[in-house]
Chains A and B, each alone.
Chain A
Amino acid sequence: MINRLVLNNLRHRPVRTLLSVLAIGVEVTMVLTLVGLSYGMLEESNRRTRGVGADVIIRPPGSSVLSLSSAPMPEAMVPFFAKQEHVAVVAGTVVHPLVFPESVTGVNLEKFTEMSGGFRYIHGGPFAGPDDVIVDEYYARQNELKVGGQMELMNRNWRVAGIVEAGKLSRIFVDMKVLQDLTGATGKLSQIYVKLDDSAATAGVIAKLKAALPDYNIYSTEELVSLISVNNIPGLKAFIAVIISLAIIIGFLVVFLSMYTAVLERTREIGILKAIGASPSYVLSVLLRETVILAIAGSFVGILLSYATRWTIHSLIPASLQQNIVPEWWPWTTLIALTGAILGTLYPAWKAASQDAIEALAYD
């Protein structure tokens, strides 16, 4: 019976109920979208790193796991790596950051093809001249680029030579020498990829390289990929915590206002319940159950909305941000919604439970 009362109360005020559910849904979507973007961007980064096909990755001293903002390694190091035991191919790249999250990568197509099997061209082909650029399918779609078309990058015009499948290095590629000269990094590299003749030798090769180059960051591909996680990105965890706190506050305020209004609207009904013997805990229970239903329905709506945000991002800016759907976060976002909602309902519920029955019955 109490559940019927709760459900009927929610049905009786459909606009208030829908708005509360929607507001909690937005709160949940906010968290799920943020988490989905974090996971999506990191997964995309991992996918591109794996796509190179290298066994060992060498990064300059002091570089971060996620990004490279300069090219401080001498290109002359390439022959040093090439002559190490088990090394089959060595390829350097230059990375020049653009507006976040984009960057342009300078590649030596011949070496890169030798290492990774090369790009898979959807349209067009390799660079034919120094002003040529290759972009991936998402970047081309987002910027409506076609092979033979022009694009502006780093204050100069480029001709789109090829559109390739996404998943290797970055989304925009130019010839490595051209990028080195353009960025004043002639003879310098951002990163060096090493492919071995036997992947089982990776640990041994890394140990030797670390002994020879103690200041450099030398990883196996798997190790680097495992390091690119939410826990290892400086500030990301704290940022997510801030967003979660904001979500709880939003949930608290929404439910507080909603339940406070509901308690005022239902003053007389609360008086009736008390007149027929309902205890304060019974009144409290009615309101808490309503809140739990709102929070769970809001969580469900929020999960659905996170699919909508993913679709929107993927349709409008496919090359910029990647949002994953992260089902393992659904219980957490439900818990976050419940926490905010229950905190928001405590004061109105207490007010209702402690209401004087005679005054409540006299309320019009």
Chain B
Amino acid sequence: MTDAIIRVEELSKVFRVGEVDVHALRGVNLDVPRGEFLAVSGPSGSGKSTMFHILGGLSKPSSGRVTIDGKDLSVMTKTQRNDLRKRTVGFVFQKYNLLPTLTASDNIEIARTIANTDGEVRDPWFDEVLDMLGVSKRLDHKPRALSGGEQQRIAIARAIVNHPAILLADEPTGNLDTKNSDAVLKLLRELNHRKGQTILMITHNPEAAEFADRIVHMRDGEIVESPHHG
């Protein structure tokens, strides 16, 4: 058995829309080894985002089992899922989702505050990451003064500041032009290679998916293909 940091077993999610049950996930099985950069691709409505939300503890599965870094999400309380998002899972979103009232530096720092790690000395590892992301000199700016690429790099920094076991990225290049997309994807790749960060990236862009070690395809709530790659 591999050292799976994410283990998904027979995962199903059913939404009630009006009087109709919508099966967003239908018995998904997936193992993600520690240190892997995995891309999950598929068309809209294939269940990618639903799986992303469940893996991040933002939503509960209807059935099945999800284990993140040895913790079973399906039995977790809301508070435990909050704790999971503080330290075990980091998010990067398509729309960056930085707090507009805070500087880039404070946007990163608030993740430490919420995780109660702000009293601890920030390790040199993170300063190296900031250099790698190329945002060290843009930390005093508010999001509106940053380009999309810079905002997304700050969002990546915020996502990993508490050393999460996994980094979940939902269409991280969806709002970026080609140049910035490439830059962000290269950074994710570098983060994965140099720092061993496990990354699960949702994307419907085949070119973006190519940056990952492995791509799994989803359709109609199921994994239809999981070719090895890279």
Contacts and interface: CB of A to CB of B under 8 A. Distances in A.
- Pair from one complex: yes
Contacts of B113: 1-2
Given A275-B56, A276-B158, A1 B110 contact: yes
Interface in B131-160: 158
Contacts of A358: 53, 58-59
B97 A5 contact: no
Interface of A: 1-2, 4-5, 8-9, 11-12, 268-269, 271-279, 282, 357-358, 361
A14 to B, nearest CB: 12
Contacts of A282: 114
Given A5-B99, A273-B110, A358-B59, 6 more contacts: A1-B113, A5-B101, A5-B106, A273-B114, A274-B85, A358-B58
Interface string B75-91: 00001001111110001
Give the 4 A-B CB pairs with smallest separation, nearest first: A277-B86, A8-B101, A277-B85, A1-B113
B118 interface: yes
A277 B115 contact: yes
Nearest to B86: A277
Contacts of B56: 275
A279 B79 contact: yes
Given A268-B97, A277-B83, A5 B102 contact: yes
A272 B97 contact: yes
B100 interface: yes
A4 B105 CA distance: 12
B109 interface: yes
B118 A272 contact: no
Interface string B51-79: 00100101100000000000000000001
A12 B103 CA distance: 12
A269 B97 CA distance: 8
B111 interface: yes
Contact of A269 (B59, B79, B85, B99): B99
18 contacts: A1-B109, A4-B106, A5-B99, A5-B101, A5-B110, A8-B102, A11-B101, A268-B97, A272-B99, A273-B110, A276-B158, A277-B85, A278-B82, A278-B114, A279-B82, A282-B114, A357-B58, A361-B97
A271 B56 CA distance: 13
Given A4-B102, A5-B102, A358-B53, A275 B109 contact: no
A79 B91 CA distance: 96
A276 B93 contact: no
B93 A361 contact: yes
Contact of A12 (B101, B110, B112, B158): B101
Contacts of B109: 1
B114 A9 contact: no
A273 to B, nearest CB: 7
A134 B106 CA distance: 71
B111 A276 contact: yes
Given A272-B97, A276-B91, A361-B93, A1 B85 contact: no
A12 B144 CA distance: 12
Contact of B101 (A2, A9, A271): A9
A278 B82 CA distance: 7
Nearest to B98: A272
Contacts of B91: 275-276
A12 B53 CA distance: 30
Contacts of B84: 277
A275 B169 CA distance: 12
Nearest to A269: B99
B116 to A, nearest CB: 10
Contacts of A272: 97-99
A282 B113 CA distance: 10
A276 B100 contact: no
Given A4-B102, A8-B102, A358-B58, A277 B97 contact: no
Contact of B97 (A8, A275, A279): A275
Contacts of B97: 268, 271-272, 275, 361
Contacts of B93: 275, 361
A276 B101 contact: no
Interface centre among A5, A271, A272 (most CB of B within 10 A): A272
Nearest to A275: B91
Nearest to A364: B95
A5 B99 CA distance: 9
A191 B62 CA distance: 87
Interface string B112-124: 1111001000000
Given A269-B100, A361-B97, A276 B58 contact: no
